[in-house]
Each structure stands twice: as C-alpha cells, then as structure tokens.
Amino acid sequence: MPRPLVAIIDIAALQHNLTVAKRKTPQARVWAVVKANAYGHGLERALRGFAEADGLALIEPDAAVRLRDLGWRKPILLLEGCFDAVDFAIAAQYQFDIAIHCAEQIALLEQTRFPKPVNIHLKMNSGMNRLGFTPAAFAGAFGRLRDNPAVASITLMTHFANADDADNPALPLAEQLRRFQLGSAGLDAPVSVSNSGATLLHAGLTSHQVRPGVMLYGGSPGTAPAADFDLRPAMTLQSELIGIQQIHAGEAVGYGSRFVAPVPMSVGVVACGYADGYPRHAPTGTPILVQGMRTRVIGNISMDMLTVDLTPVPTAHVGSCVTLWGDDLPIDEVARAAGTIGYELMCAIAPRVRVTER
C-alpha cells in the first residue's frame, strides 16, 4: 500500500487559470509555460489543462519531443533555444519555435537544414543580465536572422526582472521597457514581453504574445494572494497523521530539539518530509491544516516526517487528513513562511510522491 501522501492535481483549475490569462490579454497569443514538468504538475495533465492555449513553452528539448509524442500539434517554443547542433536538428524535425539569445545560436541555426522555415523568438537582455543580446546588438542579430531563408518569422522577446515590483530602484520596469523599445526601434515584428507578473499586473503593455507560467498553476508572481487575481490552486498536497505524542512542558520535539513545549501538548506526526519536497527550512509556525483547521508546524522537518501542534484540533486522530498546501491553504503562504517562493515548492515534489487528479 502507498504512503498516505498524495499530490492532487486539479485539471479544472488549470483550465480556469488559463482563462484568466486569456481574459487579461485578449489581444495576445498565450504561450502556456510548462517547463520543469509543468511546474511539477505533469506534462500529460498540462496538455489537458492548457488545451486552449495557443502554444506551449518550455526549456527542455526532450520534453518538447514528448509533448509531440503525446499528441500536441500546436506550436511549441523552446524558451532557451537549442543547446547544440543535435538540438537544432531535433527542432527542425519537430518544427519547434526557437528562442535565439546569442551569436553562437545564430551560427548553429545557419548550419541546420530545416524541412521548412522555422519561427524565431529573438531575445534581448534589457537589464536582467541572464540571456539575450544587448540593445545595441539587437538590430544586427535581427538583420542576420531576417536574411536567413530558414527563418519564417521573428518575434522580439525580453524578460522582466521585476514585473511584480515595478518601481524596484535597481531595475524599474519602465527602464527595461525603455531599453527594449530603444533596441527594437524600427524592427517590424511582434513583441513578447509579458510573463505572469506582467500579464496580471500590467495587462496594458504592448505584448502580442504572453508567456504566463506560475499563475497558470494557481501561484502568485508577487506578494498579493493568488485569489485576488481569481486564480485557483492546481496542486493540493495532502497526507495524514500517522502518530500522536502527548508531551510534557519542557520536552523537545524532533532533530536538534529546536522546539521545546512551553506547556503540555499534543503533537501530531505527518507522513511528509523534505525527501518528498516539503522545504526542510520551514520553521516552527509554518501554517498547515489538520482536519481543515489551521495550525502550525513545530520543530525541524525530517526526511520522511514533520510534526504539528494539535492544540487547535482536539479531535485529531491517527488518520486525520492533513493539507500541506493547496485547498484552503495557499502555496505562496507556506512558501513565504519557509523563506522561499511557491514556484520552488511546486517544482520540488519528489518522484516518490503519489500523484492523482480530479
């Protein structure tokens, strides 16, 4: 029999969240981002949840091939482009859209024979300083691609560092836009600039194509709760109490004895630990639900277990349902308590965790 720990994926929530993205940007083509195994939700489920998307976007060429094998016939975009000549050959075979972010990729593109011209998404580094051509080099890269008969269309792309914090003094959103507009001035091509944060918070931006990611899975790209944007959690991580300990005041709980009971307490043991993807650094006080009632994690997270304060849940018993995040407990709230972001929790679900859907 399996452990009681299960990740429940809500296909209807995925569909709903895509609808929110489309409603926010009715003028734009929507690429549903499905990298990292659809943020831990599974590519097969993403195919059904995002069937109405205009295309799917990810970074892994092998996963892109799998999407084709699973039956996806609409466009697929490789967000980091191709990593070597083999990847370009695969992209040619499966007709992937390809991001181009450096001169080396253009050279590999020019060496690849395509059965028919491919669509290119030319990336500018507008200040995030990860991937992309500088604004000064952007037009030159565009011209080189435009003159290549293997290129069907070119989309101008950049990525915002602070869409959820537009006035960040280190790199304001307006400054990234200014650099992008300066570097792309005079280039006749559609624009793709909006990630989840821009889609939700800056829907008025000119973006002919949008690339929502975490919002599609019910996570917030910023500090505002996802529910404020009408987003629904697509993943609920549930387990059960597998033990209960009655401890006296002054007794400690877990590795390192970090939590010491101030009064006599009932402590519940949950079948979930850091080997399952729960954050090991989640401190005492991290919210958790037992029998639908809010309580807190106490003590250090173990590999296979964590402990909770059952004081608010006097009727709890071995077998009581525990919600780690999801329904009635936003994943972003758990992530903030643990000093991380919801993206990481979604993607960290371990292979040993059973996954079902509804």
Residue 224 lies in a domain: no
- The pLDDT assigned to 216 comes to 98
Q: Shortest CA distance to 211 belongs to which of 44, 45, 54, 10? A: 54
Residue 255 lies in a domain: yes
Does residue 170 sit in the same domain as residue 266?
A: no
Average pLDDT, stretch 204-221? 96
Residue at a domain's end among 219, 247, 268: 219
274 has a pLDDT exceeding 90: yes
Residue 226 lies in a domain: no
Does residue 215 sit in the same domain as residue 239?
A: no
Residues serving a catalytic function are 35, 255
- The pLDDT assigned to 250 comes to 98
243 has a pLDDT exceeding 90: yes
Residue 31 lies in a domain: yes
Average pLDDT, stretch 126-135? 98
Residue 5 lies in a domain: no
Does residue 282 sit in the same domain as residue 307?
A: yes
How far is it, in rounded angstroms, from Cα 148 to Cα 152? 9
Does residue 184 sit in the same domain as residue 260?
A: no
Show the tokens assigned to 257.
Answer: 């004895």
Name the domain count of the chain. 2
Mean pLDDT of the chain: 97
- The pLDDT assigned to 223 comes to 87
Share of the chain above pLDDT 70, in %: 100
The total of other beta-carbon atoms located within 10 Å of residue 128's CB is: 15
How far is it, in rounded angstroms, from Cα 332 to Cα 338? 10
**Residue 274: which CATH number?**
2.40.37.10
Average pLDDT, stretch 23-51? 97
Tens-place pLDDT, residues 53-74? 999 999 999 999 999 999 999 9
- The pLDDT assigned to 39 comes to 98
Average pLDDT, stretch 181-187? 98
Q: What is the 3-state secondary structure (H, E, C) of the chain?
A: CCCCCEEEECHHHHHHHHHHHHHHCCCCEEEEECHHHHHCCCHHHHHHHCCCCCEEEECCHHHHHHHHHCCCCCCEEECCCCCCHHHHHHHHHHCCEEEECCHHHHHHHHHCCCCCCEEEEEEECCCCCCCCECHHHHHHHHHHHHCCCCEEEEEEECCCCCCCCCCCCCCCHHHHHHHHHHHHCCCCCCEEEECHHHHHHCCCCCCCEECCCHHHHCCCCCCCCHHHHCCCCCEEEEEEEEEEEEECCCCEECHHHCEECCCCEEEEEECCCHHHCCCCCCCCCCEEEECCEEEEEECCCCCCCEEEECCCCCCCCCCCEEEEEECCECHHHHHHHCCCCHHHHHHCCCCCCEEEEC
Does residue 262 sit in the same domain as residue 173?
A: no
Which structural domain, as residue segments, surrounds residue 201?
A: 11-219
Does residue 151 sit in the same domain as residue 62?
A: yes
- The pLDDT assigned to 165 comes to 95
- The pLDDT assigned to 269 comes to 98
Does residue 242 sit in the same domain as residue 214?
A: no
203 has a pLDDT exceeding 90: no
Does residue 41 sit in the same domain as residue 142?
A: yes
- The pLDDT assigned to 129 comes to 98
Tens-place pLDDT, residues 88-105? 999 999 999 999 999 999
- The pLDDT assigned to 326 comes to 98
Residue at a domain's end among 170, 190, 219: 219
145 has a pLDDT exceeding 90: yes
Residues 98 and 119 sit within 8 Å (Cβ to Cβ): yes
Tens-place pLDDT, residues 303-330? 999 999 999 999 999 999 999 999 999 9
Residue 106 lies in a domain: yes
Q: Shortest CA distance to 208 belongs to which of 76, 65, 26, 67? A: 26
Does residue 182 sit in the same domain as residue 209?
A: yes
Residue 300 lies in a domain: yes
Does residue 156 sit in the same domain as residue 31?
A: yes
Does residue 82 sit in the same domain as residue 190?
A: yes
Residue 270 lies in a domain: yes
**Residue 183: which CATH number?**
3.20.20.10
352 has a pLDDT exceeding 90: yes
Does residue 199 sit in the same domain as residue 333?
A: no
Q: Which residue carries 């401190």 as its tokens?
A: 283
